Structure 1
Amino acid sequence: MDHFIYKDGQLHAEGVPVADIAQAVGTPVYVYSAATLERHYRLFTEALSPMPHLVCFAVKSNSNVAVLKLLGDLGAGMDVVSMGEYLRAKAAGVPGDRIVFSGVGKTRPEIRCVLEGGIRQFNVESEPELMAISAIATELGVTAPIAVRVNPDVDAKTHEKIATGKSENKFGIPIAKARAVYALAASLPGIDVVGIDVHIGSQLTDLAPFEEAYLKVAELTRALRADGHDIRRLDLGGGLGIPYTRSNEVPPLPSDYGALIQRTVGDLGCEIEIEPGRLISGNAGILVSETIYVKEGEGRNFLILDAAMNDLVRPSMYGAHHDIVPVIEPGAGAEAQAFDVVGPVCETGDTFAKGRALPALAAGDLVAFRSAGAYGAVMASEYNTRPMVPEVLVKGDHFAVIRARPTFDEIINRDTIPVWL
């Protein structure tokens, strides 16, 4: 469910006409619904309510500080994968003891930064990283809480570029090697072993891979406890998918996911951490764009928009689908025609959809890309010196710009010409 619906013939974001936002801010523009963000976060907390838990929002899915503050004020933790994301979470008012630091390539400056600023735990992905954390924690005279990310060799049956739990992926430590790595961690100074971490991929639409992975984690928990480790937290990752189309395919509900967690690891007495991103923010955002031209080609028509692959790269990068809808509701019985929906960037890959059935559209008409709140603005760039797309947050009948579109002067003035040129 989201809060982008037609009212009186116009697409609204909660109580605000999307066309009003486009007129005030310009296009392209990302628009987020506070009500949808809040609702989706609460679905997870309710699903895990029978167990001690912390829902850590995956900051990589949408890192705007206003979004992080909204969720942090509700009690969310944050899952971060860089110093920048950590500092964004802190800027949003999230305390260090609700921030989990993941990622395969944590640098020494990043490790030092979060140890000095406070951290709930490091999700450790390799022995060299573990040694680095131990050395820096010892130097600072602090103890670093850690969970080892284990790779359970489970096929998440998702897109190859967002699968993370198979043996050939770069993530985590092979589960067969885990007991030896935990023994190493327990022997190191400055390290406090608190739990186990696992994450098998993103946009999963079937619970079976989760169940397979979590049963392996339960078995490992019992083995590690027998080895003398105080395993008190299980970080089960994120990855629950969302419906990108209005088809009959419906991914599992958070309540079903919570029941699975209860069934597979609920008897271990551990605090449960999860790291949802896409399911909280994905359907909470749209990208609004204006039609520049409708172009007749050889055997096909092109809908040329002012949004481009630098604003929303998912279709070019992953072949991802986003429903595209007109901001003005089509009349009953309006005929559809096939369009290749493209942007103005000089790349053939700057294509959002091919042969997409849409109602008749003309230059100046607005369209909205649904389900664009996750991995949209965070992956945007200024390719072709196109200004970074702005972001807007709606709450009820009002909205605010939460990231402004830079001017061309601001973009160009970041560059520096050497004195010898």
Structure 2
Amino acid sequence: MNHFELRGGELHCEDVNLARIADEVGTPVYVYSSATLERHYTVLRDSLVGAGLKDPLIAFAVKANSNVAVLRTLGRLGAGADVVSEGEIRRALAAGIPGERIVFSGVGKTEAEIAFALEVDVAEINVESEPELHLVNTVAQRLGKRARAAIRVNPDVEAGGHAKIATGKAENKFGVSFAEAERLYANASNMAGVTPVGVACHIGSQITDLAPMEAAFRKMRGLVERLRAEGLSVERLDLGGGLGVPYFNQPEPPSPADYAQMIGRALQGLDVQLAFEPGRMIAANAGVLLARVLHVNRRPEGRNFLVLDAAMNDLLRPAMYDAYHDIRPLRPRDGAPETYDVVGPVCETGDTFTRDRQLPPLEAGDLIAFMSAGAYGAAMSSEYNSRLLAPEVLVRGADFAVVRPRPTYQDMLDREQPAPWL
């Protein structure tokens, strides 16, 4: 469920007319619904608890949407943060999420990032290779600390909505094999700077079938049982994220309740704290990208190009993943649908959001919304073609606030300086 709906013929976010935001803030602009963020988090939390799962740590994947206001909205409900850089740790802390609810993942943590994570006392560092385990141990000893570490396992299970977001196969760069995991966990238990607290996995993103998840989770259960049989303590099992969301062109994915019940079956009787790293399932349908039609280029050969003021630098997913986003006019007109190629102004053909899309009739000046843009939208945006970053707006009820303003061109230029000889 999301809180974007037509009222009186105009698209609203909660109780705010989206056209009002477009007029006051300008376009392109990202808009997020507090009510949707809160609902998606609480539905997942309540489903997990309702399935009898012990004290789950739900660490929102900051890479999906790193806006501090979004993180604070979720943090106030008890969410933690799954982070993959020092910058994301700092964003989580700035949002009021304490270190004890932060999980530090990623295959390439630097020495400085590990040190910072230890200084702020994160809940766990997900270790993804043997060299990284030794680096964590070295840094922790130098600081006089013990790092709480989990060994991330690659369960060799294929899943994910696109090859670029599948992470659980042996050929992917993430994690270690089960055999390596057992050896590394035992080694970690003898290290002066490491306390192994658990094991972790994450097999991909936009997964719409629970079967590969269940297969991976049952493998992880077996690993926990083998480690305990060797006399090793395993306090936490991190199951990652990846549950898909509806992008309006796909069948409805499994519900959080179905997901939780599956986990309950797979892990029944296993006394361990569970951690989760959802991102897309919480944020995607909580946000839209608003854009304005610059003009409609009607070609003699019959193609209609709908040229927007938003571009691939604002919303990269279609160019990078061939991703589908539902497109809705903010003030839909009556009339027969027309077929459009929806494009942006960036100087390359890849700046195409969709081809041959049937939409209500549109004209220059009309406003449209890219739906399901709350995850991997603003977080992946750039200033390609020296275009200014789109601002971000958070709505609560009848109120809205700009939570990341649009920079000025001077702001953009001030970040650079000429070399002394220029």
> Which letter maps to 1:400?
A
Return 72-81 or 322-331, whichever deviates more: 322-331
> Which of 81, 91, 100 matches 2:84?
81
Q: How does 1:13-92 map to 2 (within 5 A)?
A: 13-49=13-49, 50-51=52-53, 52-92=55-95
Matched, 1:137 2:144: no
> Which letter maps to 2:93?
K
Q: How does 1:353-364 map to 2 (within 5 A)?
A: 353-364=354-365
> Which letter maps to 2:8?
D
> Which letter maps to 1:138?
Q
Contact 1:281 1:374 in 2 (8 A): yes
| Deviation by residue 1:84-106 (Cα, 9 ceiling, x = unmatched) | 00000000111100000000000
Q: Structure 2: which 5+ residue stretches go unaligned?
A: none
Deviation for aligned residue 1:124: 0.5
Deviation for aligned residue 1:157: 4.7
Contact 2:82 2:104 in 1 (8 A): yes
Q: Structure 1: which 5+ residue stretches go unaligned?
A: none
Deviation for aligned residue 1:398: 0.6
Contact 1:286 1:369 in 2 (8 A): yes
> Which of 207, 227, 238 matches 1:204?
207
Match of 1:258 in 2: 260
Inter-partner Cα distance in structure 1 for 2:399 and 2:340:
34
**TM-score normalised by L of structure 1:** 0.98
Match of 2:2 in 1: 2
> Which letter maps to 1:48?
L
> Which letter maps to 2:364?
A
Match of 1:348 in 2: 349
Matched, 1:369 2:370: yes
Contact 1:6 1:329 in 2 (8 A): no
SS of the counterpart of 1:295?
strand
SS of the counterpart of 2:135?
helix
Deviation for aligned residue 1:81: 0.4
Matched, 1:181 2:184: yes
Inter-partner Cα distance in structure 2 for 1:414 and 1:75:
36
SS of the counterpart of 2:222?
helix
Inter-partner Cα distance in structure 2 for 1:289 and 1:58:
26
Q: How does 1:22-421 map to 2 (within 5 A)?
A: 22-49=22-49, 50-51=52-53, 52-245=55-248, 249-297=251-299, 298-331=301-334, 334-421=335-422
**TM-score normalised by L of structure 2:** 0.98
Deviation for aligned residue 1:246: 5.2
> Which letter maps to 1:353?
T
| Deviation by residue 1:289-320 (Cα, 9 ceiling, x = unmatched) | 00001001233100000000000000000000
Query: When the two structures are aligned, how many residues end up with a matched partner?
Result: 418
Deviation for aligned residue 1:408: 0.5
Deviation for aligned residue 1:245: 1.3
Structure 1 runs (4+) greater than 2 angstroms displaced: none
Contact 2:217 2:239 in 1 (8 A): yes
Deviation for aligned residue 1:55: 0.7
Inter-partner Cα distance in structure 1 for 2:391 and 2:225:
49
Deviation for aligned residue 1:113: 0.5
Inter-partner Cα distance in structure 1 for 2:211 and 2:161:
12
Contact 2:237 2:274 in 1 (8 A): yes
Inter-partner Cα distance in structure 1 for 2:105 and 2:57:
15
